[in-house]
Structure 1
Amino acid sequence: MLMMLGPVAFEIAPLNAVGHSRSGEYPFAEHDVLGTEPVYENMGGGGRTFSIKGITFPNSPGFTGGAAALDIIESLRLSGTPQHLLRGDFTPMGWFLIRKLTQDSESLGFNGVGGKVAFEISLTQCGAPDFGAFGSIISGFFS
């Protein structure tokens, strides 16, 4: 396993994560002060983003299931529920909201399905869900 986002595992096949990136910032509120430089107020821990880039080959043997996994990620995005991100070495990366899922299909087959689908998932870190939401997230793993 390369990483896991909620119930979706990224592996070499069928859903291959080929790279990821993360960034963070620390927010400060700027206050103008007459006759001097602005004063900056510490606003606490800043926003962290994480991006997963990958590829799947839906029409190739051994890669079946990649398109279905992307459909699950889209459903998770639409649900608006935080998902836990786990790196392949079992390091917990935290809870994230799925902000955007981009899919680029190439080499369309006779059925309109791309022979190669590159994807990018844009995540924003958030706090852990409350207990009620956590229960519904966990139950989603078993449905």
Structure 2
Amino acid sequence: MLYQVGALTFRVSTPNIHEVELEAAADYVAKDVIGVLRPLESVGEGESMLTLRGRLFPRKWGGTSSLDLLERMRVSGEPQIVVRGDGRNMGWWVVARYREQHSYLGTNGVGRQIDYEVALKKSPKAATALGYFSTIMRLIG
């Protein structure tokens, strides 16, 4: 396992990830002081983004159902638990943006190569019990 996002497991096989980018920030407020550089006061954690990039070859190995699952996670707006392959719990994240690009289109309009990117935004709260239930129901159908 490379990463687990909610119910979706990214593996070395399909669906895989070939690039991960983590951007974390801290928020500060500047205080006005006469005659010196304005000191900064930490006001907490800033916005964090986790971007996962991968590539599918659906005619050889499938994986398009995983892309559908990512889209359903985005639409639900529910926080998803993210776990890295080494077991590190990265906390709760929402799917803020999802993009896919099809290349070498087949006769059905699906690309023989699909590049995708999932941008996750850190969530300050976990999913609610109702959120869990609705997510499971969306996954089922």
CA contact (8 A) 2:78 2:127 kept: no
Query: Which residue matches 2:125?
Result: 128
Q: Secondary structure of the residue that 1:59 maps to in structure 2?
A: helix
Tell me how far apart the structure 2 counterparts of residues 138 and 80 of structure 1 sit (CA, whole Å). 10
Q: Does 1:71 find its partner at 2:71?
A: no
| TM-score normalised by the chain length of structure 2 | 0.86
Q: Deviations over 1:9-67 (max 9, x none)?
A: 1113321111211121111123444554324232112222111110111112xx12x11
CA contact (8 A) 1:86 1:94 kept: yes
Q: Secondary structure of the residue that 2:58 maps to in structure 1?
A: coil
Return the offset for 1:2.
Answer: 1.3
Tell me how far apart the structure 2 counterparts of residues 128 and 140 of structure 1 sit (CA, whole Å). 21
Unaligned 5+ segments in structure 2 are: none
Number of corresponding residues: 140
Query: Which residue matches 1:30?
Result: 30
Question: What's the Cα RMSD here?
Answer: 2.1
Q: Deviations over 1:51-96 (max 9, x none)?
A: 1110111112xx12x1111111011001111011111122211111
Return the offset for 1:133.
Answer: 4.4
Q: Give the % identical residues.
A: 26
Q: 1:45 to 1:12 in 2, by over 3 A?
A: same
CA contact (8 A) 2:78 2:131 kept: no
Query: Which residue matches 2:110?
Result: 113
Tell me how far apart the structure 1 counterparts of residues 127 and 114 of structure 2 sit (CA, whole Å). 35
Q: Deviations over 1:88-133 (max 9, x none)?
A: 1222111111111111110100100000001111111112325434
Q: Does 1:47 find its partner at 2:47?
A: yes
Q: 1:113 to 1:132 in 2, by over 3 A?
A: same
Q: Does 1:57 find its partner at 2:57?
A: yes
In the alignment, residue 109 of structure 2 is paired with which amino acid? G
Name segments (4+ residues, structure 1) moved above 6 Å.
none
Query: Which residue matches 2:6?
Result: 6
Unaligned 5+ segments in structure 1 are: none
